[in-house]
Amino acid sequence: DSAGGVSNGVDTIFLGGQDRGYNFTQLEKTVKRYKIKNIVLFPNSGNHILKNTANLNILKTDSMQKAVEFAYTHTKNDGICLLSCASPSYSLWKNFEEKGNLFKKEISKTRRVPGVYCIKDGDLGSRIEYRSLPNNVDLNKLLTLNLNL
Burial label for 119, CB within 10 Å (0-12, 13-18, 19+), is exposed
**Segment 88-104, tens digit of pLDDT:** 788 888 888 888 888 88
77's torsion region: left (phi>0), alpha (psi -120 to 50) or beta?
beta
Q: What is the pLDDT of residues 54-91, one digit of tens each?
A: 999 999 999 999 998 898 888 887 778 888 888 878 88
- Average pLDDT of span 130-137: 57
Is residue 78 within 8 Å of 131, Cβ to Cβ?
yes
pLDDT, averaged across the chain? 75
Cβ atoms of residues 41 and 59 within 8 Å:
yes
Tell me the C-alpha distance between 61 and 144, whole Å: 36
Burial of 17 (0-12, 13-18, 19+ CB in 10 A): buried
Of the candidates 68, 11, 3, 5, the residue with the CA atom closest to the CA atom of residue 42: 68
Q: pLDDT at position 142, please?
A: 44
Section 37-55 average pLDDT: 90
Q: Answer with the residue of higher pLDDT: 112 or 141.
A: 112
